[in-house]
Amino acid sequence: AQSVTQPDIHITVSEGASLELRCNYSYGATPYLFWYVQSPGQGLQLLLKYFSGDTLVQGIKGFEAEFKRSQSSFNLRKPSVHWSDAAEYFCGRGGATNKLIFGTGTLLAVQP
């Protein structure tokens, strides 16, 4: 069965520091990969998505992610974190007709 793994449950970074959130997906046909962000009590906001083509994907709020087929990874990065980035981040895998499967999420805390 398809699966998504986010190995880091909780990450704390200092404001202004760089950020990388890890995501691995189970092997399969070319996946559709997504990153969503959820602030407390809020819905899921799409940060970026990868379907095909350029493996480095730019998203909103200064985020980017790189699809690496050899590592089955789709890690999310941001060069300089802002306090407003504190939230929970979910990696997801979908397909042309498939449901979207989420990882367990990574809770990001930002220290001043």
Indicate the residue among 43 and 112 with the shorter CB distance to other proteins. 43
Closest separation in Å from C-beta 74 to other proteins = 14
Comparing CA positions, the residue from 8, 21, 20, 28 lying closest to residue 69 is 28
Q: How far apart are CA 104 and CA 106, in angstroms?
A: 7
Enumerate binding residues for other proteins (CB under 8 A): 34, 36, 41-46, 49, 51, 90, 92, 94, 97-105
Q: Which residues contact 51 (CB under 8 A, 6 or more apart)?
A: 32
Tokens standing for residue 27: 């092997």
Closest separation in Å from C-beta 43 to other proteins = 4
Q: How far apart are CA 67 and CA 11, in angstroms?
A: 21
Closest separation in Å from C-beta 112 to other proteins = 25
Indicate the residue among 18 and 45 with the shorter CB distance to other proteins. 45
Closest separation in Å from C-beta 44 to other proteins = 4
Indicate the residue among 68 and 99 with the shorter CB distance to other proteins. 99
Q: How far apart are CA 46 and CA 30, in angstroms?
A: 20
